Amino acid sequence: MTPKIVLDELLARKSRPERTRNLTLLNKICEAQAAGARDFSLASIGKLFEAAGGLKARALYNKASVDYQALIEAWRSESPRSAQPPVEPEEKLDDAIAARIADPALRSFFLHITADRQRIRKELDLLKSVSFFTIDRRPKTTGSESTQAAYSPPQAGELNLTPSERRALVAASSPEFLQREGWVAGQNGEILKNGRMVFDIGFLRAIQKVLDATAMNA
């Protein structure tokens, strides 16, 4: 059904003046979206609806708002498919879910969990991007020689980096890499994204100290 038919049917039902006003206001907002951005996601329409004096943005996710959802869906179906907005990124999806949680404490707990999940995922992606493998093709030795050739961790002041290890650290801390990932270097060596800490204070400083300490062996 067209948005006009849906709106007429919704307004035909007996309801309070406030509901009639909100439906009319929502229809005008959707009409404006159809002529411009054509983004009919609940998150986008909800922000515009609340700013215009309608319901709170998170109220559109409630079961009681089924009439408002039906009107929005009618406008979304009326809009050309090619103009539909892309799938919302995971962070926006988390925010949309959080908006449906009425309890402030529970909502805060949910956002904290999702922020930790995103941070861990970013750290894992970074580790994958700088990982490397060293293949030792030297023939195996026996007896005392194998004992002497066994690996032992470097002692203080004896840290040496291979060229590939050094290149990986330089790449991981370069401004180009941070910009490409959407990260910002903090004043204390931390890495931030959208105000959230991705790596703790001292992360970049620690990498720089390792690079400085091994500069003579580069």
Question: Is the pTM higher than 0.85?
Answer: no
Instruction: Specify the pLDDT at position 145.
Output: 46
Beta-carbon contacts of residue 7 (< 8 Å; ≥ 6 apart): 23, 24, 27, 71, 74
Which pLDDT tens digits describe the chain residue by residue (218 residues)? 789 999 999 988 877 889 999 999 999 999 888 887 778 888 889 999 998 889 998 888 888 888 999 999 989 888 765 444 554 555 566 677 767 777 777 767 777 787 777 778 777 777 666 555 556 666 665 544 444 444 455 554 556 777 888 888 888 888 888 888 888 888 888 888 887 888 888 888 888 888 887 775 55
Q: Quick: pLDDT tens for 148-187.
A: 444 455 554 556 777 888 888 888 888 888 888 888 888 8
